[in-house]
Each structure stands twice: as structure tokens, then as C-alpha cells.
Amino acid sequence: DTAVSQTPKYLVTQMGNDKSIKCEQNLGHDTMYWYKQDSKKFLKIMFSYNNKELIINETVPNRFSPKSPDKAHLNLHINSLELGDSAVYFCASSQGGLSPGYTFGSGTRLTVV
């Protein structure tokens, strides 16, 4: 069983479209994240949810809206896609307890044309 799974793996779409990326984790973690990796491989956090509650929103445009229906799912909806949104988006989750751990999904490569 995949610990953190994202769908789709690849997404090619035209400018102006609306698209969603889904993420699910089966690790029982309380916190989930979305990261964006740009063309220079730089990884930047976008959002974080803890038990369905938004705790981090890193000055991401309002066109990006995360939704967490339960603590095992964190979806990312993007409105009015722009060329600059092309990137790889990673979902991750983290565990509680004494030893920190972050588990990443395999990524969704979004290409806006």
C-alpha cells in the first residue's frame, strides 16, 4: 500500500482552466502539506493542514485552494491556471510523537500550455 498517494501523476492543461490534484495518506498522520517544486528544483511549502484545519498558508495566490475533507485527504484545487503554475506539486504528511517524520507522495507534474 502506498503511504502517500497523489493523483494524477501527470497533468497537462491549457491556461485559464481549473484543475484539482488529490492526495491521500494511509499512515494515520494528523498533518498534511502541499509543496511546490519549481523548474530549478526549489521546494517551497504552500499549505499545511492539521486535523482538517489550515495552519499554514504561505502567501499563495487565491487561485489555489486546498480542501481537507478529513485528516487522511488533502486536495489542491487551482483556478484560472497560468503558465507560471507549471511545476511539480508534492503532497506530504507528518507524524506526531517523539521522532519527527515527513512522508512525501511521488508528485504531480503540472504543465500549463
Q: Can you give the binding site for another protein, defined by CB under 8 A?
A: 31, 33, 40-45, 48, 50, 55-56, 90, 92, 94, 98-107
Q: Name which of 92 and 112 has its Cβ closer to another protein.
A: 92
CB of 97 to another protein, least distance (A): 10
**Separation of first and last alpha carbons in the chain:** 34
Q: Name which of 15 and 43 has its Cβ closer to another protein.
A: 43
Which residue in 3, 23, 11, 10 sits closest to 76, CA to CA? 23
Q: Name which of 48 and 75 has its Cβ closer to another protein.
A: 48
In this structure, the number of other CB atoms found within 10 A of the CB of residue 33 comes to 23
Specify whether the CB–CB gap between 38 and 87 falls below 8 A.
yes
